[in-house]
Structure 1
Amino acid sequence: MTQLRKVLSIQAGQPTSDGAGVKLTRVFGGPGVEVFDPFLMLDEFGSDKPDDYIAGFPPHPHRGFETVTYMLEGRMRHEDHMGNVGLLQGGGVQWMTAARGVIHSEMPEQEEGVMRGFQLWLNLPGKSKMGDAGYDDIQPERIPRITTQNGVEVVVIAGQFDDGQTQQAGAVQRPDTEPQYFDFHMPAGASISPKVPEGHRVLLYVYEGEVEIAGQTQKLGKSRLARLSENGELQLTASVDSKVLLIAGKPLGEPIVQYGPFVMNSREEIEQALRDFRDDKLTA
């Protein structure tokens, strides 16, 4: 008998603001984030009101993890201390490895219209937290978009997509956490059975529509996040036209100590990060 992944929890995001007052929804993050290991936070932002996003994210630091910004609509300009300048636009991804330290800004390059997308924080293992910082500006044409035999369009951002019929490597491959990051655009009635390695954490976030998860009686509606068990098969069926993020990764199983934009393995390392930032040594 086929073992199916079970839904361990379902939750709704909470409205908040970040940066210089950008309004967003924190899907998860903060206390208890260990259950999402290796992921630390997921924010959804989306508004057609300039006052909700125009102030952007002025220069700020990070250490100890990676940020993945996936833009659905709008234009955002990235600049960092390494001299990188990138334009994040609809369908594109910014993958930044903060490691020992990055100071960067993300500012809207528009004064009106819709700004919509997601930012995911992905942890780094302790051995890599003080490694070299890096940045990749991934334009839409570099991100594979495929259509399965069941008519589901898949945006393959990271990892390897495989449903037993179609295989496609994503734009990004990462060691240690081995993340999979897919965006499913599902017509009503369409199903998809993505393969996820045993032992990987699996998160599903519906940002449009509603889906059924095989073996579960409760449907997963819009703006809901499901955390699944680490073993078994997965099948999704769209109740209506739907868009769903699948985010999966290999848990690190290490201590997580966070203070704002710094995520390390111990309080002592956090205190060192704060001293380094104060003394202008964060990126040294």
Structure 2
Amino acid sequence: MSLRPTLETRAAQQTMEGAGVKLHRAFGFQDPSELDPFLLFDDFRNDRPQDFEKGFPWHPHRGIETITYVLDGTVDHADSLGNTGSLGAGDVQWMTAGSGILHQEMPHGNAAGAMHGFQLWGNLPAAQKMTAPRYQDVTADAIPEVIDDDGVKVRIITGEFWGKRGPVDGIAADPQYLDVTVPAGVRKTFRIDTYRRAFAYIFGGAGAFVDASRPSGVLLEKEVAGEELNIRDMSGDRTLVRFGSGDEITVQAGPEGMRFLLISGAPIEEPVAWHGPIVMNTRAEIMQAMQDLNNGTFIKPAH
């Protein structure tokens, strides 16, 4: 087994999207090769309705897939194909924009006015950029959850893990998308296929990922003993951890435990031309998409 090194640890940056939704962006609109096949990751978490209720009004997508995972509150959605629905706590929507779709997403708070969710953009390979759009809506009760003997809990949104398979399938990037909770002081190792790019996003508690640059690739002695971690080695809320190559990661939870998303996928390794919500392979294809938007031919007839 080879331990994946930690290439980078960085805090998600506050930004604004849609009609004025305040959120935190872990990555996006920079170097698309960094986490290929993933393009963008947003944490839209807020307890002030005025900071999110204007939502994400009608906008186009082409050439990508969007994955929306709601933890609290609801997200109402509608699209140019006539689909409508609402995502509640624990629900997932995987939208393949393909040749083009117009949609809107409107978040609403829970009884206390708070909401929390994530959106991940996955790239599509050139051969699937113009595929027919489709949706996969998955309710919380359809997502398998596995609890190990040490209390580690994993919700499997897509991919296979610990003998269970997530309900979302047919995704170009062949991703593994896990919601992981590690109890206080527990050290745990997770396997990741070597060929995948991988990252973790911490959104609860704190902990440390073992770095292969340490002697023998192990935790410091006091960390192995379950004592309080050295504060400089810990990563907390809204932190992105980007991993190098290898086939496993090891994490040590801090004194309050930790919760994070562990996401990996097969790199596409193709040129990326990117303009807002449209991601193609060439500038000419971007220009064609803009022309299609302007002349009313962006939405392609179903075959």
Measured against the shorter chain, the TM-score band is over 0.9
Return the offset for 1:214: 2.3
Is the CA contact 1:152–1:186 (under 8 Å) kept in the aligned structure 2?
yes
* Deviation (angstroms), 1:173: 2.4
Q: In the alignment, which residue of structure 1 is the partner of 2:225?
A: none
Q: Which residues of structure 1 form unaligned runs of 5+?
A: none
After TM superposition, the score normalised by the length of structure 2 is 0.88
The equivalent residue for 1:100 is 99
* 2:284 paired residue number: 268
Matched-pair contact (CA < 8 Å) for 2:47–2:109: no
| 1:182 match: secondary structure | strand
Q: Could you tell me the TM-score, scaled by structure 1's length?
A: 0.94
Distance in 2 (CA, whole Å) between partners of 1:201 and 1:149 is 28
Q: What CA distance in whole angstroms lies between the structure 2 residues aligned with 1:136 and 1:232? A: 29
Name the counterpart of 1:220: 235
Give the letter aligned to residue 219 of structure 1.
M
SS at match of 2:33: helix
User: Cα offset for 1:176?
Assistant: 4.0
Amino acid at match of 1:138: V
| Alpha-carbon distance in 1 for matches of 2:252, 2:176 | 19
Which residue of the partner structure matches residue 142 of structure 1? 142
Residue 269 (structure 2) aligns with: 253
* Greater RCO, CA 8 A, separation 6+: 2
Q: Is the 8 A contact 1:147 1:154 kept in 2?
A: yes
- 3-state DSSP of counterpart to 1:221: coil
The equivalent of 1:116 in structure 2 is 116
Q: How far apart, in 2, do the equivalents of 1:180 and 1:93 lie? A: 14
Deviations 1:215-265 (A, max 9, x none): 356333222111101223211121132111101000000111110010001
Q: Is the 8 A contact 1:161 1:194 kept in 2?
A: no
Partner of 2:12: 13
Give the equivalent residue in structure 1 for 2:244.
Answer: 229
Query: Where does residue 218 of structure 2 map in the other structure?
Result: none
Change in 2 beyond 3 A, CA 1:69/1:176: closer
Distance (whole Å) between structure 1 residues aligned to residue 235 and residue 295 of structure 2: 47
Shift of 1:203: 0.2
Cα 1:53–1:176 change in 2 (3 A) is closer
Percent identical across equivalent pairs? 41
When the two chains are superposed, the root-mean-square deviation of aligned CA atoms in Å is 1.5
User: Partners in 2 of 1:209 and 1:256 — Cα distance?
Assistant: 35
Q: How many positions carry a matched residue from both structures?
A: 279
Correspondence 1:157 to 2:172: no
- Show structure 2 runs of 5+ residues with no match: 215-232
SS of match in other structure, 2:157: strand
Larger radius of gyration: 2
